Each structure stands twice: as C-alpha cells, then as structure tokens.
Structure 1
Amino acid sequence: MVQEVIMKRKWWKESVAYQIYPRSFMDTNGDGIGDLNGITSKLDYLKNLGVDVIWICPFYKSPNDDNGYDISDFYAVSEEFGTMEDFEHLLAEAHRKGIKVIADLVLNHTSDEHPWFVEARASKDSPKRDYYIWKKGKENNEPPSNWGSFFGGSAWEYDEQSEEYYLHIFNRKQPDLNWENPLLIEELHRMVRWWLDKGLDGFRIDAINHIVKMEGFPDAEAPAHEKIVSAHHFFSNLPKVHDHIQHLHREVFRPYNIMTVGEAANTGPEEALLYVEEHRDELNMVFHFEHMSMDSGNGNLGGWEKRPWKLSQLKEILNQWQTKLHGKGWNANYWSNHDQPRAVSRFGDDQAFRVESAKLLATLMFMLEGTPYIYQGEEIGMTNVKLNAIDDYRDSVTHRFYRDAQQEGWTEDRIMSAIHQSSRDNARTPMQWNDQAHGGFTTGTPWIQANPNASRINVEAAEKDPTSILNYYKQLISLRKQHLVAVYGKYEPVFPEHSSILAFTRTLGNEQLVVVMNFSAASAHMDNHEALADQSVRLLLSNIASDTNETSIENHLQPYEARIYLREVTPC
C-alpha cells in the first residue's frame, strides 16, 4: 500500500493552500481597497505560516457588481488592485519564496459589460450573439422557463432592444456563456493558456459544474402558484460537462504541471469521482458544499437563519467523502471561504471557547485526507461581524435578501439577525493585522468596516502568544509535512454513534494517527475501543494539553479538546 501511495504522490496533494480575497487582505496605497502589492508585502507572513499555495480571488477588470466574479476583461488587472506589472512581480516573488499561485478562473459567465456581451446585445446578427444564451419569452410574455437564479429571482433577464431574454444563473449582470459554441470555447482556451504561460500554477474554477444547461431549457416541476423555482438539476453536473472539462484538460492543462480545483455545488462523492478520478483527466479536486448545508433552514429565505447542526450529520458527510474518494480521487477540505460565514462563528463557539473551537476545527481540516484550504483570517480565529444597518453591508446578495425578507413581512430585527449569521460580508471584512485603526488593513477608509474585535483578534497579537490559534496552525502544518500518513493515510471512523466526539484513524504502512475531538462545550468521555487500546502511543499535538509525553490515549476530553496521537501498527 505504501508503494502505491508513493507512485501517486503529487505536489498539490501535499500542499497547504491559503485563499486570499484581495479586496480585504492588505491595502498599500491608502484607498481602502486591498491590492496586489498588499499580497506581495505579506508573502513572508504566509511563508512563515507554512503555506505552499495561495489562491487569489478575481483580480481581473470588473465593474464589481459581484465583487470581481463579473469579469469585463479576462486579460486585464482591475485598476483598484494594481497593474499587470504588479501581478507579475507578485508571481515572481511568490515563486522565489517557494509559494505557488493559483487564480480564480470564471468560465460560466462574464460581466454584461464585457465587450463580447456588449456586442451580442447590440445585434441579433452579431457573431458574438451566440456566445451567450438568448431565448424568446413565452406567449404570455413570461420568461422562457421558470428557472430561479442562485442569487434570487428569475434566471432570465429581458432585453428590450432585442425583445429576447438572456440566461444568468447568478446575478443579472453575469450573463451565462454558451458552451455549445466552439468559437467561444476556443476563445476561453486561448485565455487560460495565456495565463498559464505567464507562470500561474493552476486555477480554482468557479461554478464549473454549471457550464452545461439542459437542452430545451424546460420548466422545472413546481406548485401552480410558483412562477420561479429552484431548477439547479437542469444546470448542475449534466453529462456533457465532463466532455468539456476533458477537452480543456487535453487541449490546455496537460502540458503544465498545475493544480486544479473546481467549485461544484450540488455534488456528492459519487458525482465528484467523475470530476476527480485520476484516470479521467479532468480536475485534481472539487469543493463540495454538503457540510455547508448542515445548518440551513427551510424555505426560500430560511437558509439565512442558521439552525443547530448535528455532529452525526457531519460524521456521515465526512465518512462518505473520505472513504469513497480514497485511492481513486482527492478531496479539497475547507471550513469557510469568501461566500460563507466565518467558521468559528458557524461551527464552533466564537465566545467562551473561540480559541479552543477554532483550533479544533483546524485539527479536523488538516487531519483529513485531502488538500486543506485556509481562508484568510481563519488562522487567527476571525469571527462574524454584526454591522448596525443594511447600508453598512456591501454584498449584493445580502441586499437582495433584505428586500425579499421585507416583502415577506419579516421584522427588521429578524432580518438583521439573519444577516449577522449568513451574510457573505462576514468573510469579507478587512484582514486583522494589528490593533491599529481598521486592524492595520489600510491607512484610509476601508471599503467595508473592519470587525471591531480587531483590537484584540489580530496577527500581531497572535504572533506574540505561543498558545494562539495562529501558532497552533503552524504546528498542524508542520505535523502534516513531517508525517506522510497525515496526507495519504486511510481514514477509518471511530465512535460513529457518539453524540459529541468525532474520532478517526489514518493509517499508512506501520504508522497510524489517532485523532479524537470533542465537539461540545461540555466534557466528554470515550469508552474503550480497539482503535484506542492501551498501546504505545505518542501525543503529537493537543489544542489544550501542553504535555506531549503521554504514552496512552486519554479517554476524557475537555470542552472542544482535540488530540492527535501517533502509534505503530502491523501493516494490513
């Protein structure tokens, strides 16, 4: 088994990735917006943390209706982030320090201000018209189908000039590209190759499983009174998407030794294997969202009001992804990103046990099989923010929810409580570097308010505290780099029925990691179990205990305690 693993070793499997939202990371010119030079200025910080790869969210030219995911020029850097020379300098400096760089690749849509769409909109006879998806409305002047957008409302927008609708499964200013057009595909391939030739080390590919739509754009089943419904099954994971990705891999990716991770909502482990199984030549890994739905409420707006999540559900999700992909494909592990609330506020306890629970969440992420992705600020335990009023928020999806909730009759307190739980702006407040104004992010006025707790939760303070979340992250990363079993070891769950303890082993050859975690604000006890038998073990790391001289597994865990043990076993 060890020999099989050695044959399948890849740099991107053994890497630790760090996601950067450039607008909120570091501002060097005082305009209140993070920039590429700000990323360059913090490369030593990232190197010291142990990061191997940085993923930079879109920095391309954009009107920023969806904060950069609405691209108006694939080949240009947005002026607010700097220049192409700034990007090239960042790339060169990162490589000089041994850090690889991947960028967001948005292939499902463009901005409606992209020259392609401007030309397509101007005339039905334009060669670019077929770069997008246009349809006539129904006889009663309703949209071509009842598909709802992920961002709310209809997925079809009426264009008065041409008297047709165009499709947008996200924002109305993000028209979907038509992947049935071979000329469009050639254009996109050319663009991807251009960035790879600049030296990029790979891509996080946005919404890649949505690029193919159901032929004929049929109505989804819905109650008679509902004119707009969720229809994601008509534009998620359709069979032809794999033909397009294999073509992209064959024509563009293959000559380069790159890392590719696809964003793949509505995808389970069996479906994921179609994207990541190594012999299929598609993607290295995908981000799934199953654990992101554990706390979602019911109804059209209910997802904004988080409900208590169950450890049993998390266990089931992890067990499925860890076992079904082992030896076949690869996982991408994460707790938060630019679209999700802060992990410690959502899955931990950001009050009494902020430090302990943040460390526990990190322990789980780093000890699972798969490439771990840290979202900026996660390594210091940044929390959700409670801004006072809707006008303090910048996210267009949050503003859409606010309007819809008002129409549904929600009270102001209920609306703002839901926003405090779920707004994407929770993850987008400025990175907290020190206790100075705005967390040291900018000398100007930040584009969005910094979290007031930056005065106590910041990098500078964390670096001085040997017991900080930041220093624990460094220990976890070092442990993962020292022990191959932490990367490639086979996962086996322990105590699957325990209400508060999540435990598992990772085994490779004669080495086994035993990971035990208490997901509770109360102490917890583990009964005797074969995997925890009194054998010679070594405590590698604990988020609470400082004594690493233990030679047996402690069966009593304090609130939010996590422990990682190493022992020798007889190879199977």
Structure 2
Amino acid sequence: MMNKKWWHNKVAYQIYPKSFKDTNGDGIGDIPGIISKLDYLKDLGVDILWISPMYQSPMVDNGYDISDYYAIDPMFGSMDEMKQLIKEAKKRNMYILMDLVVNHCSSEHEWFQKAMADPEGEYGSYFYIKDGKDGQPPTNWRSYFGGSVWEKIPGYDNKFYLHSFAKEQPDLNWENEIVREKIYEMICWWMDQGLSGFRIDAIMNIKKDLTWSDLKPDGPDGLADVYKITGKVEGIGDFLMEMKHRCFEPYDALTVGEAMFVKEDILPQFIGEDGYFSTIFAFEPCHAYRKGKNYMNYDWPQPFDEWREETFHNQEIVAKAGFEANIIENHDQPRGASLFIPEEDYGFYSLSALATIIFCERGLPFLYQGQEIGMSNRQWKYDEFNDLETINQYQIALKAGMSKEQALEIARHHSRDNARTPMQWSSEENAGFSKGKPWMPVNENYKVVNVAEEEKEYGSILNFYKRLIAFYKSEEYNEILTYGDFRPIYEKEDHIFAYSRSYGCQKLVLICNFSSKEKDIELSEDYENVIFVNYEQTTVIGNTLKMKPYECVIYEM
C-alpha cells in the first residue's frame, strides 16, 4: 500500500511562459500573463503548475541556459511579480513548481566567465576542463544538439570544456563539493519563496565517466551520443539522495525528475517510498516510435502497437516501484495530437479518446499548455524554426544525403518548436496571445482551435477535458484512478486500447477503439454500468460491444 502524499490526487499542467500569455505587447509571454489565466486553469481543474525556466538567461536554449539562478529574466517580469504569482496561486489552492536546471548553466554565468579567465583557478574546477589529444577533443562524445561535447577554450591550444547540450551550456562539475553546496543553497532559497517543488531538468547527466573513455562510434561523424554515459556510470544516486535530504525532504516538496533511461531494477531507487524523486515522467510510451531508430527514419504518426506495448510494460514495471507522471506531450516533443493521431483522423473523438486513455492510467496526470484545446503541429518553413536542436538535425539530414524537402518534412514532424507556438486563446489577431508580433509564429489553425470558441461549445475538446478532470477528481473515482492496480485486457485485439483499474472492492474497465474503423469486441465479462464515454451512446448487442471510430467507454463493475 502506497503512502498517500499531498499531490497524489491532483492534476498538473505545464506552462511554457514565453508562449503562454503576453500582457505588455512585446510578443513574449510574461508572469502577469500567467497570473491573468490562473482562474482559467482553476476552472479547468488544474492544481499544480510547472513553469518552464524564467530565470535570467541569454536564451540560447530558451531559458535552459541560466546566467543567474536568483533573478527573473526581465522579459518575463520581476521577482516581485514572481512572488505575486506564488501568492495568487496559493489563494486558489494551487501549487507552483519551477524548473531546476543544474546539470549545466549558461556560458554567461559569473562562474563560467571566471573559469574562462583562469581555467586553472578555483572556478575552473566548477566545470569539466580537460586537456585534449594533440589539439583534438578529449573524447568522441556527441552532444544532444549534435557535434562534439567539447569546446576549445579561447586562448588555449589544447584545453577544452564539456557541454552535453549547446556550447553555451557548460556542464557543472557535481564532483566538486563547493558546487553542490551552492546548488543546494539556491534550491532552498527558492523553496523559501513559497514554491511547492521542482521539475528537475536533464538530471541523469550530472554523473560523468571520469575515466574519459571513448565510446563506440554510432554515426558517420565518428562520435557517440553522450546519453550512453548515463547507462555506463555508477554513483549518481549519492548526489541525488544528498540533494533530496538537503533540499526537498525538509519542505515536503514535489519533485518530478526528467529521468530517462532508468533501468527497471533501479526504478525503486528513483521513485520508491525512499526514492530520490517524488515521481518521474513516463517518457517511454511517448517515445515508442523512436525505439531503435534514428530521427531520420522515425515512424509517423506513432505506431499503435508499439505505443500500447510500451504503455503496458511501463505501467507494469512502475507499479512495483512507485508513481509516474503521465504525459501526452511537453515542450521538448511534437504535439501529442499529431504524434498519436493520423492527420486525417484529427478531431473531437480521437482527441477525447487519447485524453481518456492517458488520464485514467495509474500515475499523476500532466497536461501541457494547449493540449486541452487540441493544439497540433504547425506547417513550418525552414527559416521559421527557432529551436537549436531542429536546425542542427535539419543540417545533419542534408549532410546524410536527404533533399531539402525530405529534411524539412522530418523537421516539421519532430521539431520541439511545434509545442512552443503561442497559446491559442481566441480567434483574434495572434490568437489572442499578444497585441505585438509573437516571438514564434502562431499555428495557422488558431481561428478554429482556441479557448474562446471552445468554451462556448459544449461538445468541444476543452469542455471534454473539464468533464474528464472532474471525473478523475470525483469523490467516487479519485481513489481508484489514483491508487488502483492497472491490468491490460483485450491485448490481442487490433487497435483496441483496454485496461482495468482495481482498488479494494471497486473495479473500472476502460475500452477504446483507437482507430477510424468500426470494431466489434466480444466482451469477456458482463459490463453493466457505463460511467464515462466520449460518444453519446454505447451499443452492446448480446455480449458484443459495437465500437464506433475512436469510441472510448469506461464501465464500473
């Protein structure tokens, strides 16, 4: 029996502040914009807000390159406004999480500037500075954004610093106790401002291979992806447990780790009763289409069988360990409406089916801004992309022999910019996001897909989400949907996503036809009480459930 926590029966929502709501007309979302929409989020049924970075930053990687952890970037507002946001959220019984980005900082951070001025001095040890091999990088590791993880230090022929991401994001040296102390001091300072916790970015990268050994090349560039180090090294748990004891436990903080590639046998160490984090994101089901492939030959949209298989496997192994945060999309992924649903099937029934499947799984439901209105991928031109990763991957695709059209098509599908287009509030100019020119192009479908229009229409996906969240949080079903066991059913049925949830003497069964074709399901049990649907009527003849395209039904046994 899992110990109950304050956040277990809640619904969370991610805000990408740059694209959420602009109030001063500069085309960039801001803190007053978030404050102005708290009542909208409360009405939706949201309890917990994770806000992507708003710290001072040169914005090379949209705020994930922090130059001052103690300051709010002026583009978003002031520290006083941040404190006001926390205060206004508390008035509504809502909780604020910020992003904790401590694998790396910005190359404009004071520490790094001092390190570059004197690589042999005190601040040089705050980072990973190594001698190269006759002027070449120390290892053949490839950064997440492409190219070597090593950048030559200006003025030195054979000294390099490590950056797992962009060269403007130098990795912090977690082996240095002084660095860790400064990080913990900063975390506690933010908790004292009234935060309820953090989403913890790229945390699996903080432990390095200190033998600095080459990896087996996995591409024509002779490099190997740096993420492979995470499966090779040991000892990360010492850092994570120290951070938990020093910073999170004293505040009963909710911590959501961006922890990918965690092996099944060590999952309890991450999210068990004494785990490093409260929970981690369930990335595997969303990334099923990537498995064993490189981004140039991903399947699109995500194949149903792989998604279902990965979900069922993930639910099984996580149940033995703890609690995950279930997602359809986030700021680092394409839109779930485009990833999971064929373009020709996009609409209310497919969107509502996807929402119901994810919300009723075991775990903490996590929405991303715009998901609740069915925001989808945009049709991009190359010169409109902002995301560094997308631009790099486009160039790599060209070098691999693809045409400009092929490279652009891949970038359109997979770009993180798809999730970063401005929130669509209305059919007014710029989707009601800003009175100025938005920093990122608005999706062309904003005149139809927007909050104002969907609030007026009972049968909209927005109002469906409100009903779904109310169902999830209802007195009758919140316990079973939060804590109930998860068991796959009808696994051999084509394009049928079905599972049961059991808790005490209560049992629910979800059956969804996740396809555009009608399907007949021979029911193995006598399901009597329909408690939630996305169609007005469910048809059962004898023991045959006659399912319409993207029909989803929940029974109570």
TM-score normalised by structure 2 residue count: 0.95
Name the residue aligned to 2:427. 435
- Does residue 147 of structure 1 match 2:141? yes
Name the residue aligned to 1:539. 530
Relative distance call for 1:66 and 1:82 in structure 2 (3 A) is same
1:466 to 455, 458, 461: 458
SS, match of residue 295 in structure 1: helix
Give CA-to-partner distance per residue, 1:377-400, whole Å, 9 cap, x none. 00000010002x211111111111
- Does residue 378 of structure 1 match 2:368? no
Q: How does 1:29-68 map to 2 (within 5 A)?
A: 29-68=24-63
- Does residue 423 of structure 1 match 2:423? no
Give CA-to-partner distance per residue, 1:410-468, whole Å, 9 cap, x none. 21211221121111110000000000011100000000110111000000111111111
Does the aligned pair in 1 maintain the 2:14–2:50 contact within 8 Å?
A: yes
Name the residue aligned to 2:319. 326
Q: How high is the sequence identity, in percent, across the aligned residues? A: 38
Letter in structure 2 aligned against 1:219: D
Worse-superposed segment, 39-48 or 285-294: 285-294
Letter in structure 1 aligned against 2:367: I
Letter in structure 2 aligned against 1:149: S
SS, match of residue 471 in structure 2: helix
- Does residue 451 of structure 1 match 2:443? yes
- Does residue 122 of structure 1 match 2:123? no
- Does residue 563 of structure 1 match 2:536? no
SS, match of residue 239 in structure 2: helix
Does the aligned pair in 1 maintain the 2:52–2:98 contact within 8 Å?
A: yes
SS, match of residue 184 in structure 1: helix
- Does residue 161 of structure 1 match 2:155? yes
Relative distance call for 1:551 and 1:506 in structure 2 (3 A) is farther
Relative distance call for 1:554 and 1:433 in structure 2 (3 A) is farther
Give CA-to-partner distance per residue, 1:48-103, whole Å, 9 cap, x none. 00001000000000000000000000000001000001111111001101110001
SS, match of residue 494 in structure 2: coil
1:396 to 384, 388, 393: 388
SS, match of residue 254 in structure 1: helix
Does the aligned pair in 2 maintain the 1:13–1:371 contact within 8 Å?
A: yes
Letter in structure 2 aligned against 1:283: F
Relative distance call for 1:94 and 1:551 in structure 2 (3 A) is farther
Does the aligned pair in 2 maintain the 1:341–1:384 contact within 8 Å?
A: yes
Does the aligned pair in 1 maintain the 2:144–2:226 contact within 8 Å?
A: no
Name the residue aligned to 1:302. 296
Does the aligned pair in 2 maintain the 1:266–1:288 contact within 8 Å?
A: no
Once the 2 structures are TM-superposed, how far is the Cα of residue 171 of structure 1 from its aligned partner? 1.0
Once the 2 structures are TM-superposed, how far is the Cα of residue 299 of structure 1 from its aligned partner? 6.2
Q: How does 1:467-546 map to 2 (within 5 A)?
A: 467-482=459-474, 483=477, 484-529=479-524, 533-535=525-527, 537-545=528-536
1:287 to 281, 289, 292: 281
Once residues 193 and 398 of structure 1 are traced to their aligned partners in structure 2, the CA distance between those partners, rounded to angstroms, is 35
Worse-superposed segment, 291-300 or 54-63: 291-300
Once the 2 structures are TM-superposed, how far is the Cα of residue 409 of structure 1 from its aligned partner? 2.9
Runs of 4+ more than 4 Å apart = 223-226, 297-301, 550-554
SS, match of residue 530 in structure 2: strand
CA RMSD of aligned residues (A): 2.0
1:176 to 150, 162, 171: 171
Worse-superposed segment, 317-326 or 494-503: 317-326
Worse-superposed segment, 16-25 or 154-163: 154-163
Q: How does 1:23-102 map to 2 (within 5 A)?
A: 23-102=18-97
Once residues 481 and 17 of structure 2 are traced to their aligned partners in structure 1, the CA distance between those partners, rounded to angstroms, is 30
Does the aligned pair in 1 maintain the 2:35–2:88 contact within 8 Å?
A: yes
1:11 to 6, 9, 17: 6
Name the residue aligned to 1:265. 260
Does the aligned pair in 1 maintain the 2:288–2:310 contact within 8 Å?
A: no
SS, match of residue 532 in structure 2: strand
Once residues 553 and 336 of structure 1 are traced to their aligned partners in structure 2, the CA distance between those partners, rounded to angstroms, is 36
